[in-house]
Amino acid sequence: MSVFSEVPQAAPVAVFKLTQDFTNDQFPKKVNLGVGAYRTDDSKPWVLPVVKKVEKVIVHDDTLNHEYLPILGLPEFRSSASKIALGDDSPAIQENRVGAVQCLGGTGALKMGAEFLRRFYNGNNNTTTPVYVSAPTWENHNAVFANAGFEDVRPYKYWDAEKRGLDLAGFLGDLESCPAHSIFVLHACAHNPTGTDPTQEQWKQIAEVMMRRKLFVFFDSAYQGFASGNLEKDAWAIRYFVSLGFEMFCAQSFSKNFGLYNERVGNLTVVARDADNLKRIMSQMEKIVRTTWSNPPSQGARIVAITLNSPELFSEWKGNVKTMADRVLLMRAQLKAKLQALGTPGTWDHITEQIGMFSFTGLNPKQVEYMIKEKHIYLMASGRINMCGLTTKNIDYVAESIHEAVTQVQ
Amino acid sequence: HTHELLTFSWWGGVQMGPPDPILGVSEAFKKDSNPKKMNLGVGAYRDDQGKPFVLSCVRKAEAIISAKQLDKEYLGIGGLAEFTKCCAQLALGNDNEVLKSGRSITVQTISGTGSLRIGGNFLSRFHAGPRDVYLPKPSWGNHTPIFRDAGMQLKAYRYYDPSTCGFDFKGALDDISKIPEQSVIMLHACAHNPTGVDPRPEQWKEISDLVKKRNLLVFFDMAYQGFASGDIDRDAWAVRYFIEQGHNILLSQSFAKNMGLYGERVGGFTVVCGDVDEAKRVESQLKILIRPIYSNPPMNGARIASTILSTPDLRSLWLEEVHGMANRIIKMREQLVAGLQKEGSTHNWQHVIDQIGMFCFTGLKPDQVERLTKEFSVYMTKDGRISMAGVTSGNVGYLAHGIHAVTK
The alpha carbon of residue A95 is apart from the nearest alpha carbon of chain B, in Å, by 14
Which pLDDT score is estimated for A36? 81
- Best probe of the B interface among A1, A2, A4, by most B CBs < 10 A, is A4
Is B39 in the same domain as B129? Answer: no
* A49-60 helix and A311-342 helix, angle to the nearest 10 degrees: 150
* B81-92 helix and B237-244 helix, angle to the nearest 10 degrees: 80
Which pLDDT score is estimated for A7? 80
Q: Which residues of B touch A272 (CB under 8 A)?
A: 9, 11
Residues of chain B with pLDDT under 70: 1-7
In a domain, B9, yes or no: no
Is B169 in the same domain as B289? Answer: yes
B316 SS3 class: helix
Catalytic residue, chosen from B140, B204, B318, B349, is B140
> Chain B residue with minimal CA distance to A293?
B114
Is B146 in the same domain as B229? Answer: yes
Is A290 in the same domain as A348? Answer: no
Q: Which residues of A touch B117 (CB under 8 A)?
A: 291-293
Is B162 in the same domain as B202? Answer: yes
Helix runs in A257-381, H state only: 275-290, 298-308, 311-342, 349-353, 365-373
CA distances from A2 to A149, A294, B123, B129, B277 (A): 29, 31, 13, 12, 12
Q: Could A67 and B10 be called an inter-chain contact, meaning their C-beta atoms sit closer than 8 Å? A: no
Q: What share of chain A has pLDDT > 90, as a percent? A: 90
Catalytic residue, chosen from A111, A256, A336, A338, is A256
Which pLDDT score is estimated for A2? 64
Q: Which residues of B touch A143 (CB under 8 A)?
A: 291-292
Which pLDDT score is estimated for B17? 82
> Chain B residue with minimal CA distance to A122?
B10
CATH number of the structural domain spanning residue A127: 3.40.640.10
Say whether pLDDT at A319 is over 90. Answer: yes
A366 catalytic? Reply is no
Characterise B205 by phi-psi region: left (phi > 0), alpha (psi -120 to 50), beta (else): alpha
Is B150 in the same domain as B27? Answer: no
- Best probe of the B interface among A293, A295, A320, A388, by most B CBs < 10 A, is A293
| Phi, psi for residue A253 in degrees, rounded to 5 | -115, 140
Is B273 in the same domain as B395? Answer: no
In a domain, B215, yes or no: yes
Is B123 in the same domain as B29? Answer: no
A81 SS3 class: helix
Is A152 in the same domain as A261? Answer: yes
The model's confidence at residue A1, banded by pLDDT at 50, 70 and 90, is low
Q: What is the DSSP string of B83-135?
A: HHHHHHHHHH-TT-HHHHHT-EEEEEEEHHHHHHHHHHHHHHHH--S-SEEEE
Interface predicted TM-score of the whole assembly (ipTM), two decimals:
0.95
Is A96 in the same domain as A208? Answer: yes
> Chain A residue with minimal CA distance to B109?
A293
In a domain, B2, yes or no: no
Please enumerate in sequence order all residues whose Cβ is within 8 A of that of A131, keeping only pairs 6 or more positions apart, or say none. A114, A145, A150, A152, A153, A154, A182, A183, A185
Is A157 in the same domain as A285? Answer: yes
Q: How many domains does chain B have?
A: 2
Which pLDDT score is estimated for B212? 97
Q: Compare CB distances from B5 to A71, A105, A211 and report the shortest one's residue.
A: A211
As a whole number of angstroms, the distance between CA A50 and CA A318 comes to: 10
Q: Could A68 and B182 be called an inter-chain contact, meaning their C-beta atoms sit closer than 8 Å? A: no
> What residues make up the domain containing B287?
57-314
Q: Which residues of B touch A153 (CB under 8 A)?
A: none
Count the neighbouring beta carbons within 10 Å of the beta carbon of residue A208. Answer: 13
Dihedral through CA B20, CA B21, CA B26, CA B32, nearest 10? 120
Catalytic residue, chosen from A30, A83, A111, A138, is A138
Computed over every residue of chain A, the mean pLDDT equals: 95
As a whole number of angstroms, the distance between CA A156 and CA A133 comes to: 6
Is A286 in the same domain as A351? Answer: no
The alpha carbon of residue A250 is apart from the nearest alpha carbon of chain B, in Å, by 16
In a domain, A366, yes or no: yes
In a domain, A74, yes or no: yes
Q: How many domains does chain A have?
A: 2
Is B40 in the same domain as B181? Answer: no
User: Where is pLDDT greater, at B355 or A162?
Assistant: B355
A138 catalytic? Reply is yes
As a whole number of angstroms, the distance between CA A123 and CA B338 comes to: 57
The neighbouring-strand residues paired with B387 are B359
Q: How far is CA B268 from the centre of its chain?
A: 12
In a domain, B7, yes or no: no
Q: Which residues of A touch B15 (CB under 8 A)?
A: 280, 284
Q: Compare CB distances from A287 to B17, B112, B264 and report the shortest one's residue.
A: B17
- Best probe of the B interface among A119, A262, A278, by most B CBs < 10 A, is A262
Q: Could A4 and B294 be called an inter-chain contact, meaning their C-beta atoms sit closer than 8 Å? A: no
Pick from B379, B259, B73: which is nearest to A66 by CA?
B259
In a domain, A320, yes or no: no
Which pLDDT score is estimated for B25? 85
Which pLDDT score is estimated for B5? 54
> What residues make up the domain containing A35?
14-46+325-408
The alpha carbon of residue B162 is apart from the nearest alpha carbon of chain A, in Å, by 28
CATH number of the structural domain spanning residue B310: 3.40.640.10
Which pLDDT score is estimated for A10? 80
Is B64 in the same domain as B185? Answer: yes
In a domain, A4, yes or no: no
Q: Could B292 and A297 be called an inter-chain contact, meaning their C-beta atoms sit closer than 8 Å? A: no
Which pLDDT score is estimated for A16? 79
Say whether pLDDT at A335 is over 80. Answer: yes
Residues A38-76: tens digit of each pLDDT: 999 999 999 999 999 999 999 999 899 999 999 999 999
A303 SS3 class: helix
As a whole number of angstroms, the distance between CA B225 and CA B357 comes to: 10
In a domain, A62, yes or no: no
As a whole number of angstroms, the distance between CA B290 and CA A290 comes to: 17
| Count of CB pairs separated by less than 8 Å, A with B | 237
Which pLDDT score is estimated for B2? 53
> Chain B residue with minimal CA distance to A110?
B293
Which pLDDT score is estimated for B276? 95
> Domain boundary at B314, B333, B358, which?
B314
Is A72 in the same domain as A38? Answer: no
